[in-house]
Structure 1
Amino acid sequence: MKSDFAVIGGSYAGLAAALQLARARRQVLVVDAGRRRNQCVDDHHGHAHGFLTQDGRAPGAIAEEARTQLRRYPSVQWLDGLAEDARVAADGRLEFRVGAVTVSAGRLILALGVRDELPPVPGLAERWGRSVFHCPYCHGYEMDRGRIGIIAASPLAQHHGLMLPDWGEPTLFLNGTYAPGDEELDAFARRGTRVEPTPIARIEGHADVVLQDGRTLAMSGLFTQPRTSLSSPIAAQLGCAMEEGPMGPFIKVGPMQDTSVPKVFACGDAARAAGSVTLAVSDGAMAGLGAHRSTMV
């Protein structure tokens, strides 16, 4: 199967990239394995926030409407499945396999997404996307200025400790992860963040933190710092340069979302240190524009 452009990943970033190419009347193939990062929010009947005109909608509904609109363009093809075995062919085209189908594209956009690895606290993963989150801008408002628990997974927790007082009354549970220095403790005190050194036994109820000394602290919600990894080895197979971010590695890109590999672009959570639906759509649109403009050079 040949296409002018191929987009690997049919979530927000990939859809936004493909839309720009479709509107440029270019042939574009979207390959999607159906592994949207915020699927857990839909699973818990939650909502996306902070995305202009879509605030409060279910993430799956936003993605489904975007897919429906995109597939109305006659130059768009859609292929369900997992992209594997990517390489740069001898003629400079980008090739990969989806099941028994070999795809050859003139330009390739990687909207691969990432996987989240949560700290190993019993009961935490079951509440991910329902009462446990990582982005205050996405979910902090819904805490309604209540008690917010921050479960430290790394020293990155200090940023949550300093940010979240704008959304409620935070308690930073160190959980044996790291020991804040005196300057950090002073900053937490100025911001009104309480620090709890007692390790966590488990999470119960909506967001109740049960400590190993027997105390239970009820919270309106919990925030933590997942470790992220790319959801596909495609970028590594192609030789794309990577950067190490505070949450995990991501694909290094230029101003037009171009990677270190000619004719390969990347966008979304896989190509930035931290992301959201809004940022994914913005990066995806830029990747589509960048890929299209690269054909004019």
Structure 2
Amino acid sequence: MKIQHRRESGTSIDIFLNGNKIEAGYDTIPTDSFGTSSFYIHSSDLKKSNELVIRPKNGKYYISDINLDVVSLLPDVTQKNFETYIKDWVLHHRRNIGELNKIPREDLPAWKFVHEAPYWFFIPFLPCSPEEIGVLFDYYNMMFVSVAFEIRDFNNKARDFHRELISTDLPRKNALRHAYWTAMLSRRFGLYFALDLSTAHEEAHVDLTIEGPYDHVTNKINNAVGSLLGSRTPRSKDLQGVIDAAWASGELGYAKDFRETSGGQTANVYWQKPLDVMAKKYNVKPKFSQTEKDTLEKMRVNVPNVPIIH
């Protein structure tokens, strides 16, 4: 269940579903503008007709939108059927089993092995890194496999966003891709999920080229901006247009012209304004690793003195 809401400072809420309290003293709610919070409800808690009660405490509280998303239509996943669950989902979403490996058609023993392989054989073929799978498991427990393939679909949509820029303006293309990806994640799964998953993605895909240190800072900035926009934009509004507008107003970062100099590796970066705008609009900054902080300092970027986003 996703609620788009905001509150006065000091306000918290209790949430009741069909008379049962499902949240007490919840206060992870924006105070300056509407944001989205996610609450996880099992289908067994729902009835044909349901009553949802939200009681604010110690201040005013405002609701913009409430909706339910179905994460998976599979039956309950238990330890007993978990192995079958993984295998079935991988095979279901990769209909051409050749995607799992380049298996020659005439190699019948290999095909037979894949069809009969134990579940653990398929884990490396999930469309996420181990770090990302860890986040999915933390949020969705043994249902993480179905969510992993939903994440893959968002990845593909983000890659297709402004594909025409690949050959003409790759820094802009990458900025838009990351912001749009995390905006979709945030709208679908909530702000904190989008931030945690995108951070895991960056940690899993360490770039050892000259671009690496600069790309990681850039991605952290754009992932945070996208996550914020996704959680605060009404569902009736097209996210692609919102991301395009963020680029046009200078809210997204980029790095380009990577080169070696006598003083070492460097690049042209556009980070200061996006960080300043984020601090002014949302009163937050991204969570940078020590290496990323060192890169920011090297490029003489002043990180605003505001709370870390998550």
Asked if Structure 1 and Structure 2 have the same fold, meaning a TM-score greater than 0.5 normalized by the shorter chain, the answer is no
Answer 1 or 2: which has greater strand percent.
1
* TM-score, normalised via structure 2 length: 0.25
* TM-score, normalised via structure 1 length: 0.26
Answer 1 or 2: which has greater helix percent.
2
**RCO higher in structure (CA 8 A, sep ≥6):** 1
